[in-house]
Amino acid sequence: MTVSRRGFLGAGGLALAGASMISGRTQAASLPEAPTMTEATMQPPLYPKSGPDYQPVVTLNGWTLPWRQNGDWKEFHLVAEPVVRELAPGMKAHLWGYNGQSPGPTIEAVEGDKVRIFVTNKLPENTAVHWHGQLLPNGMDGVGGLTQPHIPPGKTFVYEFVLQKSGTFMYHPHSDEMVQMAMGMMGFFVVHPRDPAERRVDRDFVFLLNAFDIEAGSYVPRVNEMTDFNLWCWNTRVFPGIDPLVVRQGDKVRVRFGNLTMTNHPIHMHGYDFKVTGTDGGWVPEGAAWPEVSIDVAVGQMRAFEFVADAPGDWAIHCHKSHHTMNAMGHDVRTFIGVNMNKTAPALKKIAPGYMPMGGAGMGEMGSMEMPLPDNTLPMMTGYGQFGPIEMGGMFSVVKVRPGLAHDDYKDPGWYKHPEGTVAYEWTGEKLAEPARGTSPDSGVKATEFRAVDPRKRPVRAAKAGGHGNH
């Protein structure tokens, strides 16, 4: 972890920073340091040093914000600022975020805690922070202009409220929201139960779903885009840049995620069925938790599911919208499946040297091709496994279940060593008989051109002699 110049004193406290102008009752001399992060990989969980015990979360490609205990208050410091985030090796984006990253650090606390959150604005415009899903006084809700003045550039505001319930929450701006969220401003907020035994798990993973439209060769997202995104991210990372979820065999595991994109995402995990145990409204009663292998999360929603990791292996976890497991897709690319390009390719190469005909037999070949790319972009498919190209990108990762890991070991264990005879293989025995094939159904009806007629409008007929044209 890389922190700002004075560092921090672990989970129990932060070093003090110099005075700066703040609003609220808190004096400037007590403004805590704001740690920053430059690493793009998952940081170790931040175990509590005092107060109720809990199993801390780990944030995919992220970290938890340290706090300072000041009397009855847990104090955090967020800095809204421009950041540079590597989406995957080979591509960086110039975004806005918090404390050096997009998304910002995860805030973790306990039900009943009194939290004081300092927010310093280092953006070129006003901002405000909404604590998505929290029950709090109206004036702390963070909607600029409605419940509070906007935070001007260079100023620090203070939010103070009591955490009334445990669960899974988010934070994000409610000030020029379209631009600021499209630029990557968001973060996770986890509140643990007061009772350490309630809802206890062995590993607790969190990540946010977000998306960008960044043209090849550019670095700043197109903030006015509403539907045609080309980079689908978990915590502003795309596969193969997304951390694996490393799990000890036998662990009880929770996965929490929130959706701040512009569409829904059916999140599917291989190898297991799981129980949906949390939503935006809080915990699902244990007797009402329902089994799934995929759970859809709509825009602005949170979901949590749990499973016991009893099956070792490398199990895929991904969005089940197929375009969301691709990187930097060009949506105007023509479909050439079934087209023989042998005759046209030479002519195209004359006007476009280096042209390579692709797509006549599908797009899977792109997963193993090495070809020059424009600056600062990614291939549509990338990432290799032990058996070759995985042919995925975007919202895709791997749940790596292994026996014998330490309880706090989240290091990538490498690829799973399959027991002999448990991997699909090529048949090399006796040639199989050709199966019987039927023909496709054909009604024999040819395509017909239809013309719609509004039955409310009568056709105009020629007027009869001595009559009226509308009779």
The amino acid sitting at 432 is L
Mean pLDDT, the chain, integer: 86
Task: Render pLDDT for 387-434 as a digit per residue (tens, 0 to 9).
Answer: 999 999 999 999 999 999 999 999 999 999 999 999 999 999 999 999
Measured CA to CA, the distance from residue 251 to residue 402 in angstroms comes to: 10
Structure tokens at 56: 């801390």
The amino acid sitting at 3 is V
Phi, psi for residue 323 in degrees, rounded to 5: -70, -15
Q: What is the average per-residue pLDDT within 143-164?
A: 98
Q: What is the average per-residue pLDDT within 260-289?
A: 96
Q: Domain ranges for the chain, please list them.
A: 10-308
Contacts with 296 (C-beta within 8 Å, 6 or more apart), sequence order: 264, 265, 266, 267
Element (H, E) at 344: helix 344-351
Structure tokens at 278: 């949390």
Is 277's pLDDT higher than 60? yes
The amino acid sitting at 32 is P
Is 468's pLDDT higher than 50? no
Measured CA to CA, the distance from residue 383 to residue 314 in angstroms comes to: 14
Task: Render pLDDT for 182-207 as a digit per residue (tens, 0 to 9).
Answer: 999 999 999 999 999 999 999 999 99
What pLDDT, on a 0 to 100 scale, did the predictor assign at position 328?
76
pLDDT confidence bin for 7, thresholds 50/70/90 = very low
3-class state of residue 180 by DSSP: helix
Residue pair 401/312 in contact (Cβ under 8 Å)? The answer is yes
Is 33's pLDDT higher than 90? no
Please list the residues that pair with 313 across neighbouring strands.
401
Is 75's pLDDT higher than 70? yes
Residue pair 186/103 in contact (Cβ under 8 Å)? The answer is yes
Task: Render pLDDT for 301-324 as a digit per residue (tens, 0 to 9).
Answer: 999 999 999 999 999 999 999 999
What is the fold of 10-308? Immunoglobulin-like (2.60.40)
Measured CA to CA, the distance from residue 369 to residue 381 in angstroms comes to: 9
3-class state of residue 181 by DSSP: helix
- 120 Cα distance to chain centroid: 25
Measured CA to CA, the distance from residue 453 to residue 471 in angstroms comes to: 20
Residue pair 308/252 in contact (Cβ under 8 Å)? The answer is yes
Q: Quickly list DSSP for 110-179.
A: ETT-EEEEEEEE-SSS-B-EEEET----GGGS--BTTTB--B-TT-EEEEEEE--S-EEEEEEE-SSHHH
pLDDT confidence bin for 439, thresholds 50/70/90 = confident
Residue pair 36/172 in contact (Cβ under 8 Å)? The answer is no
- 51 Cα distance to chain centroid: 31
Structure tokens at 7: 């560092």
Residue pair 175/128 in contact (Cβ under 8 Å)? The answer is yes
Residue pair 275/306 in contact (Cβ under 8 Å)? The answer is yes
Structure tokens at 53: 């015990």
DSSP code of 277? E
Measured CA to CA, the distance from residue 62 to residue 210 in angstroms comes to: 14
